[in-house]
Structure 1
Amino acid sequence: MRADALRNRTRIIDTAREVFREQGYDASLDEIAKRAGVGAGTLYRHFPTRDALLDAIMQTWVDRVEEAAEKALAFEGPPRELLLGWFDVYVGLISLHRGGPAKITSALGDPDSPIRTKCEVLTGAFERVMQRLRDADALREGVDTVQAARLVGGVATVADDGGLDAAAVRPLLVVVADGLLRA
């Protein structure tokens, strides 16, 4: 890729991330092109669909997911604190952009989703944390990782839609964690 094309692509991604953070994933692509200082044709040449642009934005997010899972797995405290810490991080990861929790949570486990590969990374990270809890015999029998991720994603969606802060979200996550862990 030519240097100017690479600069345009990077500028589009950075601008889209900012616009999506402000306006949600349904923000105008023309607005993104305008703010990035490129024509709509340039944006569509790099990203023929909205999903292609989302995919590019989410790649750096994928790296953050992997780092967060490794950090959670390095935690050496009680299982409940491990799970709650992971839930806090998970909510933060899927809540980076307005509308993100609903979009990501609804795509979990959907093989036809355009963000399927990113959701698989997220689910894989969630599974590693859940497996650690299973290995410690701390998780209730039959807890499904995707269903647990959807529960936490539902809490994040409510927080996103209602403008709830972390202090209002934490008690909801405690209820979910307590329901997943052995008594």
Structure 2
Amino acid sequence: MTEDSGRHGRGRPNEGPKAAARNRAALVAAAREVFAERGLEVPLSAIAKRAGVGQAVLYRHFSDRTAAVAAVLEENVRQIEQAAEDERATFAGMLGVLTWHLTDSAAFIGLLHAERAGSRSGIRSQTLGLSERVERALRQHLPPEHRLSAGDDLTLAIAMVSAAVTSPTREERELRALAAWRLLDVEVGPVRAFDG
């Protein structure tokens, strides 16, 4: 055996922080996909497998299911906040970004129903804070005369739409979300991820 096994294909050179960041990003993306397909109670091994890493790598980044869910939620909320900071953002456009997250992430739907999260989930207080951040981002672009500007109307509308997003495929979830917004007589911009 040679000293430099990386040159002979027997090992990979240690890439340190670059590999750690890449692995974390792959794990968060895999968690989002697996949670959307199979629900939040999916075995963590399914996330590691989807990300193409071993379980030890998964546990280096996420000590348990709660940490994996929290990472997905944080990314969802961060993207909505980034969309709100875009000077071209409109309320309808923000609802399009929100709807994309609703249809793409089962964990995000759970966030918007944080009041139902029991102590078993271990993330109730965290989800309440994240939910408030989503609402703050949306309110930055909510015109004062909009039908959802009074009281808790925005919060209730988001909860109603997220409750309607209960379908096994992403396409069906998007159709249901758009139908719910339409029934509420609320204009929604293109359903898309915010890409900066």
The aligned runs of 1:110-121 (5 Å cut-off) are: 112-121=124-133
Equivalent residue number for residue 98 of structure 2: 90
1:18-55 CA-to-partner distances (Å, cap 9, x unmatched) read: 32343333322012223434433332232112121122
Question: 1:150 is matched with which residue: 150, 159, 164?
Answer: 159
1:47-90 CA-to-partner distances (Å, cap 9, x unmatched) read: 11212112223333223202333459744xxxxxx55x543432
Instruction: Evaluate the alpha carbon distance shift between residue 171 and residue 39 of structure 1 in structure 2; reply closer, same or farther with a 3 A threshold.
Output: closer
Higher deviation after alignment, 50-59 or 6-15: 6-15
Q: Distance in 2 between matches of 1:69 and 1:57?
A: 19
Identity %: 26
The alignment of Structure 1 onto Structure 2 pairs a total of residues equal to 165
**Are 2:71 and 1:59 aligned?**
no
Q: Which amino acid aligns with 1:95?
A: T
Q: Which amino acid aligns with 2:104?
A: L
The structure whose residues are more often helix, as a share, is 1
Any stretches of 5+ residues in structure 2 without a counterpart?
A: 1-15, 118-122, 187-196
Q: Distance in 2 between matches of 1:138 and 1:14?
A: 35
Measure how far apart 1:138 and its partner are.
3.6
Any stretches of 5+ residues in structure 1 without a counterpart?
A: 76-81, 179-183
Query: What TM-score, normalized by structure 1, do the two folds share?
Result: 0.66
What SS does structure 1 have at the residue aligned with 2:172? coil
Measure how far apart 1:129 and its partner are.
3.2
Q: Which amino acid aligns with 2:82?
A: E
Q: Distance in 2 between matches of 1:173 and 1:104?
A: 19
Q: Distance in 2 between matches of 1:65 and 1:113?
A: 20
Q: Which has the larger radius of gyration?
A: 2
Q: Distance in 2 between matches of 1:66 and 1:51?
A: 22
Question: 2:48 is matched with which residue: 33, 36, 43?
Answer: 33
Equivalent residue number for residue 105 of structure 1: 112
Q: Distance in 1 between matches of 2:74 and 2:43?
A: 21
